[in-house]
Structure 1
Amino acid sequence: MTSLSLYQLLLVLCAALTHALNFCPLMGPSWPAATGLANDPTVKAALQSIRTTLQTAITAGNFSGDSLSLQIFDTGCSDPLLSLSYTATDINTTIGVNKVDENTVFRIGSTSKLFTMLMLLIEDGFGSLNDPVSKYIPEIEAVVVDMQRNSTKSNNGIDFVKWNEVTVGELASHLAGIPRDYGMLDLTEEVPMLEGLGFPKLVSAQVPPCGVPNVCSRKQFFNGLLQGHPIFPTSTTPIYSNAAFQVMGYVVEALAGENFQTVLEKRIINPLKLTHTFYTTPNIKLGVIPSAQGEHFWNFAMGDETPAGGIYSSANDMAIVGRALLNSSLLPAATTRRWMRPLTHTSSLGYAVGAPWEIISFGNERPIDLYTKSGDIGTYSSVLALDPDHGVGFTVLGAGAKTHESLALAADLISASLLPALEAAAKNQTNCHFAGTYALSSLNSSITIITDAGPGLVVSSWVNNGTNMFNSYMALSGITDPSQLSIRLYPTGLESPGQLSFRAVIPPPLGTGIGPFTSPCISWVTVDGSVYGNMGTDEFLFKVDNIGNAVSISPRVLRTSYPKTS
């Protein structure tokens, strides 16, 4: 299969996900997440398609001879839904592995930032995110005090970062506006080339004393970082910063009262029983080592910048971490929900930023957000992607010459098949569990629930005590044309033992104006907008048995419940 045919396949698969009518659903799942995914026929077919597509791409050379290890996983089982590894021919088997598998160790680069943020949340939840970073970092506190005393510096917004404004949360979400790095990757490593290109000769005081090959001490790092120019004012635009996460590492140490490596082991590695995740360079025999510069980047020292990009891990361990995040194994569920939210836009409407999530949106009328973090360090790349709506994620690790491009392609191919299958599986299972007729024949009351081509459960007919409730809801909604009435039920995620909550969306017709002010989807504004006796007219409650099948439905505003009859 050629690269072009893979691209065409991707477009076809994405089209299946993005094609939808304008039903104006709520943000979030259209149906409860499917369970038993390993045995679901739709998901099984998608997984086989992914395996075949990836293996065909490998054979065709689409991954440029890079070694890969990937897993697709879900919250319901400790075994992977799919595990696939590929060993490139151009690796150094005399010092590293001769065959890549799920336990082969790679460097994960900037995906390390996810570990750093998780550790901060375990230590202090969201308590520290609104704090000024100077509260935890004495070197920054000293700069803030100096700036308060020095009007020249405080009035110069071009040459001096206003560290008094920088919060821990802005560091975590790349909104601090501070430099990307200090020392590491400075072009003074290439002085002869730079001078040949017309750049001036630097005096010794202008050359960072550390970075490569000697890592910066904490003192050297802050001496250099705190002289760096701001990139933007705080909370203006996301600007990627490794230096921000080196500072975050120091914040974690301040909160925990222990060094970063100890906190990593106590809070993540040991509780999750990770056997192939390391802060310091592990035995090279555990890793895949590309022949070209692989040994160099395996041993490439990061020092105190390790919280930003230096951790080592395997596909199996990364899947364990991803599963723990989706299951809230290390954090309260409320903290996880708050964490998995966008904090800022980028100039690409389908790409937002969290802390430090890189949030990729798929779909159109019903966006599905993947919460991802990727990383690159020389010949190594990684990506972890989580789909909270379906309780599924995947990780891909790579080693070779063009791993960033290879992992991006693999992630696209996985997403294009997996996300539509997860939506279809959720819809099919929801239809089996909830669709049918619920009735109280003695009171001439019934409600019929179906699924159709659109999102959510659909109320197709509804009579209460002989009254056609469609007419009633038309009157409440100001709708005069029966064809414009649509009552669709969406899961809220609220539940009690044996009970699941849904909310109805009865969207007004979409506007036909010339722009976003006149034609938006405003269903989020209308939820709970009509209340009778302190009960929303859009609130529905299903009672379910021990295998998830609905046994009754309650339109709660009516203060009644209809048992399922067929």
Structure 2
Amino acid sequence: MPSFTTSLVSISLALFGSVSAQSPHYCPLLGPVYPPPTNLSNDPTFATAIQDITSVLDDATNNGSLSETSISVQIFDASDAAPLLNFAYTADNINTTLGVSTVDQDTVFRVGSVSKLWTMVLLLIEEGLWPFQESVARFVPELHEAASKLQWDPRRRRDGINHLDWGEVSIRELASHMAGVARDYGVLDLAGMSSQMEQLGFPALAPSEIPPCGNPDPCSREQFFNGLLQSHPIVPTSSTPVYSNAAFQILAYALETMTGQSYEVLLQRDIITPLGLNGTYYKTPNISLGVVPNDSGEYWWNFDLGDEGPAGGIFSSTRDMATLGQAILGSSLFPKSITRRWMKPVTHTSSLDYSVGAPWEIVSFGDERPIDIYSKAGDIGAYSSIIALSPDHNVGFTVLAAGADGHAKVALAADLISAKLIPGLEESAKDQATARFEGTYAASNGTNSSIEITTDDGPGLLVTSWINNGTNMIQSMMTLGHAQDPSTFSIRLYPTGLESPGQISFRALMPPTLSTFGNGPFTSSCITWVVVDGQVYGNVGIDEFVFNVDEMGIVNSILPRVLRTTLSKT
């Protein structure tokens, strides 16, 4: 019977072992192919990207599609308090009597549904991830009562079209829009414009069918649940993502039960005060702090969401949004293990490059490998916003906007920024990795042992020569991998994210470098993740490498750990 290791090699050969050499397909692991770039504010490669971003934003605001929208943009690095870019544009069509006359990084905007991100951060600070699998009915009495009544009514329990079983709705499903619950109750219900609706052919509503709140007055908790529990389910739980504001109102109620504190108190205590935020508010601040579009800006500034505030009611500035983004990337508010588990997709959408988290909207860039950007966008009337984080680079950006058609304008700005930012970050990471790791490493004990590392057009650190006691280890690795053609074989090192004091961990991937695997997903998908640590010698993976660094982070040696040796940089 073949060993498991042999089976892994066979799988690798079956999937990597044919076809021609056009542009190589390297199949790195998910995640960064170089350590995240640092000191970007002084990086000449990245400075070019910032100049390009500034130029495209100048063109879009002065002459293009963003010219009628006031925006504030900040690009930030998790390890640098100073912003990498501040950009602000003040449109002509604003009310300077009520609000600011010039937009800057401290101008306050409504951030709409980006409030959901603040709500999730509060939940993680207070409770961590343990509640995710719990039924929300455990923490919300109104839902517990509804779930209990459903269990005692077999007819309604079988009626899945009209009745939602709240006992099966988890905190995680609410947080990731997978609960199948109604989008809202009362807020902006079209019953508020019944005469226009009747002219469009809709029937007149009986008084009992018209929500008593939400337009314009916010619903009380009692009114909210009385209406929501009569709303029809949208889809079964955990079947497909369907956006819901009501889900985050319920999450806030659950959080208040867990903590015994109001949402407003938690926001101030857990985020605003520790991060030193001066431009973030839960209750409507003085309008003089904000930018107010002439078209309905005052109305939307003062629009009261009541208890739906945790879903869309927060006010903030780009300075404060960037500070929150830095805290998330740097895990300064909760442990890194929680950050890693949280910043993962929960479900696909029907777009292959767009997934959903809790509450992340995750977009993927790149052809050779996916670069996932964890974002959250929001809209409320005349105000739109987005925050976007790249964990691969420890960098993010935020865009706040005020004006007509804000969602489309913010999405355009995010596209314009990303098109320059992501390639710039990739290039900076590669340049810094080249300067830091490239070179020849050799044994100091007189044995014929050395390794040469560089970078090329492919990803990761490339091993171009590797000798151990006179033996060509690249050829040895080809023999172990049953590879025949040296031109299709490479050893590339990728960072694992594991670090110890004075050490950085990498793993090598050694599949044949081939251009085409097959025509369908079973044959064309990258499965390099299956073969990592697939061959071990004395309980050490042949693919494990560790770099030693000094207190300044300068690389001085490498350990190919399977060889039980240290090679010093020459």
TM-score range, shorter chain: over 0.9
Asked if 1:61 is matched to 2:61, the reply is no
Equivalent position SS for 2:249: helix
Please name the residue that 2:359 is paired with.
Answer: 356
Q: 1:504 aligns with which of 487, 491, 508?
A: 508
TM-fit CA distance, 1:61: 3.1
Q: 1:455 aligns with which of 456, 459, 463?
A: 459
The answer as to whether partners of 1:21 and 1:365 remain within 8 angstroms in 2 is no
Identity %: 58
Cα deviation, 1:265-305, whole Å, max 9, x if unaligned, reads: 00111110110100000011101111110000000000000
Amino acid at match of 2:497: G
Amino acid at match of 2:502: G
Q: Distance in 1 between matches of 2:362 and 2:23?
A: 22
Q: 2:542 aligns with which of 537, 540, 549?
A: 537
The answer as to whether partners of 1:64 and 1:406 remain within 8 angstroms in 2 is no
Q: Distance in 2 between matches of 1:21 and 1:403?
A: 41
TM-fit CA distance, 1:509: 5.6
4+ aligned runs moved over 3 Å, structure 1: 508-512
Q: 1:310 aligns with which of 309, 313, 317?
A: 313
TM-fit CA distance, 1:59: 1.3
Please name the residue that 1:557 is paired with.
Answer: 562
TM-fit CA distance, 1:57: 1.3
Could you list the runs of 5+ residues in structure 1 that have no partner in the other structure? 1-18
TM-fit CA distance, 1:497: 0.9
* Paired residues for 1:402-413 under 5 Å: 402-413=405-416
Q: Distance in 1 between matches of 2:282 and 2:23?
A: 46
Please name the residue that 1:516 is paired with.
Answer: 521
Amino acid at match of 2:528: S
TM-fit CA distance, 1:20: 7.3
Please name the residue that 1:11 is paired with.
Answer: none
Amino acid at match of 1:556: R
Q: Distance in 1 between matches of 2:405 and 2:504?
A: 47
Amino acid at match of 1:274: L
TM-fit CA distance, 1:169: 0.4
Please name the residue that 2:11 is paired with.
Answer: none
Q: Distance in 2 between matches of 1:509 and 1:314?
A: 47
The answer as to whether partners of 2:376 and 2:388 remain within 8 angstroms in 1 is yes
TM-fit CA distance, 1:512: 3.4
Equivalent position SS for 1:393: strand
The answer as to whether partners of 2:25 and 2:513 remain within 8 angstroms in 1 is no
Q: Distance in 2 between matches of 1:120 and 1:21?
A: 44
TM-fit CA distance, 1:549: 2.1
Q: 1:171 aligns with which of 164, 171, 174?
A: 174
Count residues in correspondence.
Answer: 547
Please name the residue that 2:437 is paired with.
Answer: 434
Q: Distance in 1 between matches of 2:302 and 2:335?
A: 36
* Paired residues for 1:52-451 under 5 Å: 52-440=55-443, 442-451=446-455
The answer as to whether partners of 2:65 and 2:409 remain within 8 angstroms in 1 is yes
Q: Distance in 1 between matches of 2:201 and 2:97?
A: 43
Q: Distance in 2 between matches of 1:508 and 1:257?
A: 58
TM-fit CA distance, 1:64: 4.3
Amino acid at match of 1:262: V
Amino acid at match of 2:186: G
The answer as to whether partners of 1:540 and 1:554 remain within 8 angstroms in 2 is yes
Q: Distance in 2 between matches of 1:454 and 1:210?
A: 59
The TM-score with structure 1 as length reference comes to: 0.95
TM-fit CA distance, 1:519: 2.3
Q: Distance in 1 between matches of 2:249 and 2:379?
A: 16
Equivalent position SS for 1:95: coil
Asked if 1:464 is matched to 2:440, the reply is no
Cα deviation, 1:77-130, whole Å, max 9, x if unaligned, reads: 111111011111111111111111110100000000000001001111001010
Equivalent position SS for 1:191: helix
Q: Distance in 2 between matches of 1:455 and 1:211?
A: 53
Q: Distance in 1 between matches of 2:336 and 2:524?
A: 35
Pair 344,20 (structure 1): closer, same or farther in 2 beyond 3 Å: farther
Asked if 1:44 is matched to 2:47, the reply is yes
Amino acid at match of 2:320: D
The answer as to whether partners of 1:447 and 1:459 remain within 8 angstroms in 2 is yes
Equivalent position SS for 1:560: coil
TM-fit CA distance, 1:548: 2.1
Q: Distance in 2 between matches of 1:540 and 1:28?
A: 17
Q: Distance in 1 between matches of 2:100 and 2:31?
A: 42
Q: Distance in 1 between matches of 2:340 and 2:86?
A: 28
Equivalent position SS for 2:114: helix
| Two-structure CA RMSD over aligned residues (Å) | 1.2
Q: Distance in 1 between matches of 2:466 and 2:204?
A: 81
Equivalent position SS for 2:204: coil
TM-fit CA distance, 1:508: 4.4
TM-fit CA distance, 1:550: 1.3
The answer as to whether partners of 1:452 and 1:458 remain within 8 angstroms in 2 is yes
Equivalent position SS for 2:453: strand
* Paired residues for 1:487-502 under 5 Å: 487-502=491-506
Equivalent position SS for 1:129: helix
